[in-house]
DNA sequence: CTGAAAGCGCTTACAG
DNA sequence: CTGAAAGCGCTTACAG
């Protein structure tokens, strides 16, 4: 494939006996252009015969559209946690992009990298729009780009910024998990957050926990609330504190599977059993959740759906079709397995 | 960011009082071009003042290079298995690409998609080169592209094709795992493959198992060999067959963690304990391996390193610097945890 | 229903 | 040490 001797639209035009305009019109399926079926046929055949692939590099410059969207993937302190979502999210994005004829660029931003590393993707016209996963609330570049009308969709939420976003309904998900515990008869239910409450998702999951208790007429007891910090060890430490309380909880809602696994370890180390002594429900449904013993009852996050929705929304914005909904919240599903002692 | 009113190199040139040529030369850091420090400075300042980002779309057309590499990700029957490697591999690729100033395109190929879906990436000049993960031996397009000299690197191996590739040394990895079992005193060691033996990695891992036995002067007993098929259930079924044998094995080498988890379940269902009754070692070290009970002793696959190496190799090929090594095999590391009963 | 021509915003020999 | 000009391969008004 030496450069310079690939067939061009000129070659196709000559072989078909038409102009390059016509070749472009036919190959791009431009509507409202009354080209005879016969001419169209000739062009298509010529292109096939020459094994012609339009040079996207030229197409992009001429058309002003790159037909590419980028996933900007922030690798913050929560990176190990978030990696579990990457395959689903990315493939959801890629599938939707492909469905609409677009391509996807993957751009991780390392923690030590200047925060505006992704700006080049927008301003240098690498992509027609960006999906940002793990947005930071103090990111001025983001606000700036949005203010200029550059197409942006967040995976996650940035309250108040007004940027279109796609996320899971964390409140309802947590609510469902805790309701499950309540329905099993538990009254002293502890919770461990998945991360510091400055993370929107953490605060929302905690809110779902509160709402469930409130709806059941139960008091909110600060002593039953502990903070996790993404990893297993933080879940273990938090559970140890919870177990040290005079009145031991009979159930736990861990706001992530990872934190739940740490809690499970602490419970085991205390000589207690799950679900016998303590029932455990969690959130995320990462791949490991069904493998561990006991298999976790957890709130499933539709990662592929998140990716698909984000890409679809972004593509609508790029096409300037006002989307019906710019703040999308996807539903979760409680997956009942063994850790709460309920039959699936 | 309405199109059409972004600053161009023309604007920068005017502000700096030089020609567009000079702007291009400075901004691209072209070597051997004796531009005065003062002129260079003026250009840089003008660019900064205008917040100038070169339009890559134009740059690509003019220069003939896209500075983009693509990861083609085959989603075959082994998709659930391989998804565990995606985050590490992709981020390894992205990090290396960024280190060398390139971008990465992610392109999954669905099982029902025409096999040549990725050819467009090459011929349409979306990317300067491709990394293919999960190559198929009957893929003529691949051979054709390679024959034409288009830059290609495989993640995995395609014996005989002569295409540059990056993979883990499956034979040595398996050898290390089985040697570990032998060192623990086991003599009747069964194995379950991770997939049908038509998959190169499966055959190689089995070969490592054989070599270890041979080196220890032990016979190769077909009856101790069972086939897995990517998923947990296949591991469970294989282990059930193995357990039904008159002389029960005292140890198992499962050629993937997923298959090992199924085997663990079968062992538990048979009322046996790990590692007490049967020691289990496996391969991959997926995220779940350390969470399950007992935590798996397994062969770690350096996914990030695979990605980085693949990208680095591809970039060398694109730059036409003959790489030292075109068939790269990365070393694995045996991670000793609990499932073999040895102290870490 | 189709074509001639300008233009997209860069890079790159070439000349001086 | 720097500039004028051609060219990369398409798309897209515009004209007929």
Q: Model confidence at B344, in pLDDT bands (50, 70, 90)? A: low
* Phi, psi of B270, deg, nearest 5: -85, 5
> Chain B residue closest to A67 (CA)?
B126
Residue nearest to nucleotide C4 (CA to C1'): A19
Establish whether the CB of A211 is closer than 7 Å to any nucleic acid atom in strand D.
Answer: no
B320 CA – C6 C1', rounded, Å: 37
Model confidence pLDDT, tens digit, residues B295-315: 999 999 999 999 999 999 999
pLDDT of amino acid B38: 87
Where does residue A219 rank: exposed (0-12), middle (13-18), buried (19+ CB within 10 A)? exposed
What sign for the dihedral angle of Cα B308, B231, B115, A70? negative
B332, two tokens: 């694995």
Dihedral sign computed on CA atoms, order B103, B67, B304, B288: positive
Contacts of B2 in chain A (CB under 8 A): 149
Domains in chain A, ordered, with CATH?
A: 9-63 (1.10.260.40), 68-168+303-331 (3.40.50.2300), 170-301 (3.40.50.2300)
Which tens digits make up the pLDDT trace of B11-62?
A: 999 999 998 899 899 998 888 777 888 889 999 999 999 999 999 999 999 9
User: Which pLDDT score, from 0 to 100, does residue A3 have?
Assistant: 38
In this prediction, residue B2 carries a pLDDT of 37
Q: Quote helix, strand, coil % in chain A, to nearest 5.
A: 45, 15, 40
Quote the CA–CA distance of B177 and B341 in Å, as a whole number. 13
> Which nucleotide lies nearest residue B56, CA to C1'?
C10
Per-residue pLDDT, B3: 38
Question: Would you state the structure tokens that stand for residue A195, as one six-digit string?
Answer: 């991360």
Is the pLDDT at B1 greater than 70? The verdict is: no
CA of A318 to C1' of C3 (A): 32
pTM for this model (two decimals)? 0.95
Residue B65: its pLDDT value, please? 95
- Chain A residue with minimum CA distance to B124: A55
Could you list the pLDDT tens digit for every one of the 344 residues in chain A? 333 368 999 999 999 999 889 989 999 888 877 788 888 999 999 999 999 999 999 999 999 999 999 999 999 889 989 999 999 999 999 999 999 999 999 999 998 888 788 999 999 999 999 999 988 888 899 999 999 999 999 999 998 889 999 999 999 999 999 999 999 999 999 999 999 999 999 999 999 999 999 999 999 999 999 999 999 999 999 999 999 999 999 999 999 999 999 999 999 999 999 999 999 999 999 999 998 889 999 999 999 999 999 999 999 999 999 888 999 999 999 999 999 987 66
pLDDT of B245 strictly over 90: yes
Provide the pairing of β-strand B251-254 with B225-226: unpaired
Q: What is the pLDDT of residues B69-114, one digit of tens each?
A: 999 999 988 999 999 999 999 999 999 999 999 999 999 999 888 8
pLDDT of residue A344: 66
Average pLDDT, chain B: 94
Please enumerate in sequence order all residues whose Cβ is within 8 A of that of A189, keeping only pairs 6 or more positions apart, or say none: A178, A181, A182, A209, A213, A218, A224, A249, A250, A251, A252, A253
Cα(B291)–Cα(B289) distance, rounded to whole angstroms?
6
Percent of chain B past pLDDT 90, that is, above it, reads 80
How many CB pairs below 8 Å do chains A and B form together? 128
Task: Give me the percent of chain B exceeding a pLDDT of 70.
Answer: 98
DSSP A123-137: HTTS-SEEEEES--T
State yes or no: pLDDT of B208 exceeds 70: yes
Whether the beta carbon of A62 falls within 7 A of nucleic chain D: the reply is yes
């Amino acid at each position: 494939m030496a450069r310079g001797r690939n067939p061009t639209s000129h070659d196709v035009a000559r072989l078909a006996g038409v102009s390059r305009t016509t070749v472009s019109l036919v190959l791009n399926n431009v509507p409202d252009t009354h080209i005879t079926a016969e001419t169209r046929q000739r062009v298509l055949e010529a292109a096939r015969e020459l094994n012609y692939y339009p040079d996207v590099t030229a197409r992009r410059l001429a058309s002003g559209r790159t037909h590419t969207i980028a996933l900007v993937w922030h690798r913050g302190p929560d990176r190990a946690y978030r990696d579990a979502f990457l395959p689903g999210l990315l493939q959801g994005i890629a599938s939707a992009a492909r469905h609409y004829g677009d391509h996807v660029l993957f751009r991780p931003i390392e923690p030590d990298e200047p925060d505006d590393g992704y700006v080049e993707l927008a301003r240098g016209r690498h992509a027609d729009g960006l999906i940002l996963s793990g947005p930071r609330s103090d990111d001025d570049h983001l606000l700036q780009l949005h203010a200029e009308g550059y197409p942006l969709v967040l995976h996650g939420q940035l309250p108040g910024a007004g940027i279109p976003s796609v996320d899971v309904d964390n409140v309802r998900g947590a609510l469902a998990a805790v309701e499950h515990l309540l329905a099993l008869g538990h009254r002293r239910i502890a919770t461990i957050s998945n991360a510091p409450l400055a993370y929107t998702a953490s605060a929302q999951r905690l809110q779902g926990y509160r709402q469930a208790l409130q709806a059941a007429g139960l008091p909110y007891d600060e002593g039953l609330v502990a903070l996790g910090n993404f990893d297993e060890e933080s879940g273990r430490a938090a559970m140890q504190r919870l177990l040290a309380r005079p009145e031991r909880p009979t159930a736990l809602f861990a706001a992530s599977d990872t934190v739940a696994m740490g809690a499970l370890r602490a419970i085991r180390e205390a000589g207690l059993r799950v679900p016998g002594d303590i029932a455990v429900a969690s959130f995320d449904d990462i791949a490991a959740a069904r493998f561990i013993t006991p298999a976790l009852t957890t709130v499933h996050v539709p990662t592929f759906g998140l990716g698909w929705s984000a890409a679809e929304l972004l593509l609508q914005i790029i096409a300037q079709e006002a989307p019906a909904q710019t703040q999308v919240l996807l539903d979760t599903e409680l997956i009942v397995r063994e850790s709460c002692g309920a039959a699936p």
